[in-house]
Amino acid sequence: MNFLSSGFRTLVYKESLRFWKVATQTVAAPILTAMLYLLIFGHVLEGRVQVYPGVSYTAFLIPGLVMMSVLQNAFANSSSSLIQSKITGNLVFVLLTPLSHWEIFSAYVLAAMVRGIVVGAGVFVITAWFAHMSFEAPLWIVIFALLGAAILGTMGLIAGIWAEKFDQLAAFQNFLIMPLTFLSGVFYSIHSLPPFWLAVSHANPFFYMIDGFRHGFFGQSDVNPWLSLAIVSAFLVVLALVAIRLLRSGYRLRH
């Protein structure tokens, strides 16, 4: 497994260039969507909801929108690339290369992370003007942003392998990714939920990504960031093993 090989670097470059050449759609559009969320929810709930002491609702909302953008776009990059390659038939040119399964996996996930982080950074630069943002623990911000992007990039890879047409991929996104994202505390603290939904939220790994990420800004969170780190890291390991297994077996790839 040589992550400095020309084949690996070429695949990362190809996957990164794929989204960058249509940046209006893949970068600018998600940033605009996040802006609309901020303007609507911030305008309606600012002054009426305070989650953390001394933190305005708009400031609380911004890290959630940033992380949501990171997650959704990391997933979109790897999943859309793989399903397009399967449908057009050019995936064979990747599978026939001397790249190992780990290199293929890492290239797709790394490119997905690049897109997720680029969009997330863009969302933060635009939305940070609307509230005073602090950086109590910057390292947590970096760690959870990278882990979250890696997890959703891996989930996108798994979805792309599993799906055989765009309808199946859309179902994966609409019935799994979107609900997990919107029920993860992006717009609210889970402690404001009834007991049943509070328990459900604690079973949602997306919650720990966003909560840990938000802790880096305010030094406050709904759960201990070390617990979030442990759960998120374990989730990434499990998903990575599943993705590698699927790549190695050629499931829905070699037919």
Exposure string over 217-246, b if 16+ CB within 10 A, otherwise e: bbebbbbebeebbebbeebbeebbeebbeb
Q: Tell me, what's the pLDDT at 27?
A: 95
Residue 18 lies in a domain: yes
Report pLDDT for 2: 60
Considering the domain boundaries, does residue 254 fall inside one?
no
**How many C-beta atoms surround the C-beta of residue 52 within 10 A?**
17
Contacts of 54 (CB under 8 A, 6+ apart): none
Q: Which of 118, 156, 109 is nearest to 23 (CA)?
A: 118
**Residue 112 confidence (pLDDT):** 97
Which stretches of the chain drop beneath a pLDDT of 50?
none
Residue 254 tokens read as 């070699």
Of 75, 203, 206, 34, the closest CA to residue 214 belongs to 206
CA atoms within 13 A on the CB side of 18: 20
Q: Tokens 């040119």: give the residue.
A: 93
Instruction: Find the domain containing 165 and state its range.
Output: 6-249
148, part of any domain: yes
- 197 in a structural domain: yes
Residue 17: partners with Cβ closer than 8 Å, 6 or more residues away: none
Q: Which residues contact 42 (CB under 8 A, 6 or more apart)?
A: 57, 58, 61, 130, 131
- pLDDT confidence of residue 14: 93
Residue at 255 is within a domain:
no
Task: Tell me how many domains the chain contains.
Answer: 1
Cα(197)–Cα(177) distance, rounded to whole angstroms?
18
Residue 82: per-residue pLDDT = 93
Amino acid letter for position 32: L
Residue 1 falls inside a structural domain: no
